Amino acid sequence: MRAAVGTSGVDFQSVQSAPSAVGASFAVGVRRPGRDLCEIGDLDLDATCELLAAARALVPLAAGDGPRGRVALRGALILSLFNEPSTRTRLSFEVAARRLGAQVVDFQHDGASSAAKGETELDALHNLDAMGFDAAVVRDGRDGYPLWLCSQLRARVVNAGDGVHEHPTQALLDALTILEAFGREPVPGALDGLRVAICGDLRHGRVGRSNLRLLRTLGAELVIAGPGSLAPAELAREFGVGLAPDLDAALTGAHVAMMLRIQRERLPADLRLPDDASYHAAWGLTQARLGRLAPGGVVLHPGPMNRGVEIADEVADGPRSRILRQVTLGVAVRMAVLARACGVSAETCLKEQVV
């Protein structure tokens, strides 16, 4: 057993308190190596490269090019537990599962469930687990919730974003997008010599943290940038990365500009930020600023985008943008992650009968 908090550098209690049904045991979880994916740290370098290679092999299927689906996960049941709003991630996992022949069942412990009759969240989860799901894909506002679920469920747990802690499949799909953009193989040192600038709200988001962990492991040179309240020096120190004084400095010579949205839903009430136009002028990726990137430099954004704030329309929709490609590659990554969670190799996914 270990505390679920330590790696995020953020006190989860300050993000959202756990519901009474879950209670004090929430802060701890059990690590089950091999198939759960709660944090980037659950994958060592070899497992990371293997997963990226598997995802890459699955891209044609994810993109709907060629075969439309395979049955490698036929009979598998995936529980989709999204306790926070989501478009891309929820549907991406669902599409990934369906493309491999698995079935997906959604659940929310809300007024439409037996929560309305006084059932606790924990009882509801144990009942669902008794139905024999193979894996649970979990999005929740509470840091460490997926890891805690590992101590409660027989089903394998896949983190689809927990509070400000981690979003491991987002980082994996970002890495796959960068590998593809620069023609790199998914091997140790894959990102050697590439400079990645992660810009915007790293403090109140989870995408930046997962990426700082993963991209560094793969050899990238990392720099963060943003207003001090969103990209603080402590975070740069915690991750051992550079902190640029302004956006222009961060972008100069960068091969990748990863733009992050201000996480307004998590900002402390007393935090004062510039209005959107002033933020865009200081910290927005504009067409003029794109010229600072290294030759062939690309733009990433995990979505949802706030156009005209952290990114200009012409950049989001322009030739350097890999934003929609991230979405396609995200399905491939989630196929590989779900196959791993269900104990099925990528090789089997590719060999299994086409439907």
Q: 285: which residues sit within 8 A by CB, 6+ positions away?
A: 199, 247, 251, 257, 259, 299, 310, 311, 312, 315
Q: Which is nearer to ligand ASP, 101 or 168 (CB)?
A: 168
Applying CB under 6 A, among 9, 41, 69, 303 the residue interacting with ligand ASP is 303
By CB under 6 A, tell whether 146 contacts ligand ASP. Answer: no
Q: Which stretch binds ligand ASP (CB under 6 A): 56-64, 173-181, 186-194, 205-213?
A: 205-213
Applying CB under 6 A, among 29, 161, 186, 208 the residue interacting with ligand ASP is 161
User: Strand order of the sheet with strand 77-82?
Assistant: 103-106, 77-82, 135-140, 156-162
Alpha-carbon distance of 151 to 21, in angstroms, equals 15
By CB under 6 A, tell whether 226 contacts ligand ASP. Answer: no
Q: What is the largest CA-CA distance in the chain?
A: 60
By CB under 6 A, tell whether 168 contacts ligand ASP. Answer: no
By CB under 6 A, tell whether 207 contacts ligand ASP. Answer: yes
Check whether the bond before 268 is cis (ω within 30° of 0): no
Beta-ladder partners of 170? none
Q: Which is nearer to ligand ASP, 207 or 225 (CB)?
A: 207
By CB under 6 A, tell whether 302 contacts ligand ASP. Answer: yes
**Torsion sign, CA atoms 303, 210, 96, 181:** positive
Closest distance of CB 123 from ligand ASP, Å: 28
End-to-end CA, the chain: 43
By CB under 6 A, tell whether 334 contacts ligand ASP. Answer: no
By CB under 6 A, tell whether 205 contacts ligand ASP. Answer: yes
Cα R_g (the chain), whole angstroms: 20
By CB under 6 A, tell whether 167 contacts ligand ASP. Answer: yes
Closest distance of CB 207 from ligand ASP, Å: 5
Q: Which is nearer to ligand ASP, 49 or 230 (CB)?
A: 230
Length of the chain equals 355
By CB under 6 A, tell whether 301 contacts ligand ASP. Answer: no
By CB under 6 A, tell whether 90 contacts ligand ASP. Answer: no
Applying CB under 6 A, among 70, 206, 280, 325 the residue interacting with ligand ASP is 206
Element (H, E) at 152: none
Q: Which is nearer to ligand ASP, 167 or 292 (CB)?
A: 167
Q: Report whether 166 contacts 39 (CB < 8 A).
A: yes
Interacting residue ranges for ligand ASP, rule: CB under 6 A:
161, 167, 205-207, 261, 302-303
